Amino acid sequence: MAIILMRHGKPDRQSSSRLTALAMAEWCEQYDLSLVCDLPPARSEMIARQADYVIVSSLPRAQSSLEKLQMQPQEISPLFAEVDLPIIAFPRWRLPPFLWLSVLRALWFCGVSGSVESYRDASQRAHQAADRLIERSHSGTVLLVGHGIMNKMIARELRRRGWQAEKHASSRHWSTAIYNQPFI
């Protein structure tokens, strides 16, 4: 029995133009609605096929990724959705989305959440997600197709509970992290 955490494929939402913070909020809304535009590498397909039970985040890019893997979920849940970015008004700042993502995520890790889920609340959700994955793993290998930050938070929770990482989580699209049940 194992738990496989897989990050979704590359979203079809890309932009290199500079945006204000408020425009970035709109960009994030569109990103959450995006599908994926690439195919999974053979290694990701091979790893995914080991699953006896498949869970996917409720966000379209995760579900689209599962479709690209030509697999059906047994469970779709917002419990595994990515953590939203805080939107903070910096009226004069105009940055490319990739810089906004870094700045806003760093602020979120420092405790600035605005009206979105706080780091503490996201950690509690990751705890609940790990509970669900462990429960499902009693019947065999579980695959979660999810997101970068939430997958890493779930991975940390699994390690706290003694699960051994065969392969650690990465931030790359289609990356996988494999955790095996503790022996003791």
Sheet of 176-180: strands edge to edge? 75-77, 53-57, 142-146, 2-7, 176-180, 164-167
Q: The whole model's pTM is what?
A: 0.93
pLDDT in tens, 110-138: 999 989 999 999 999 999 999 999 999 99
Q: What is the mean pLDDT of the chain?
A: 93
Range of the domain at 100: 2-180
CB atoms within 10 A of CB 75: 14
CATH code of residue 32: 3.40.50.1240
Number of domains comprising the chain: 1
56-87 residue pLDDT tens: 999 999 999 999 999 999 999 999 999 999 98
Task: Give the three-state DSSP class for 53.
Answer: strand
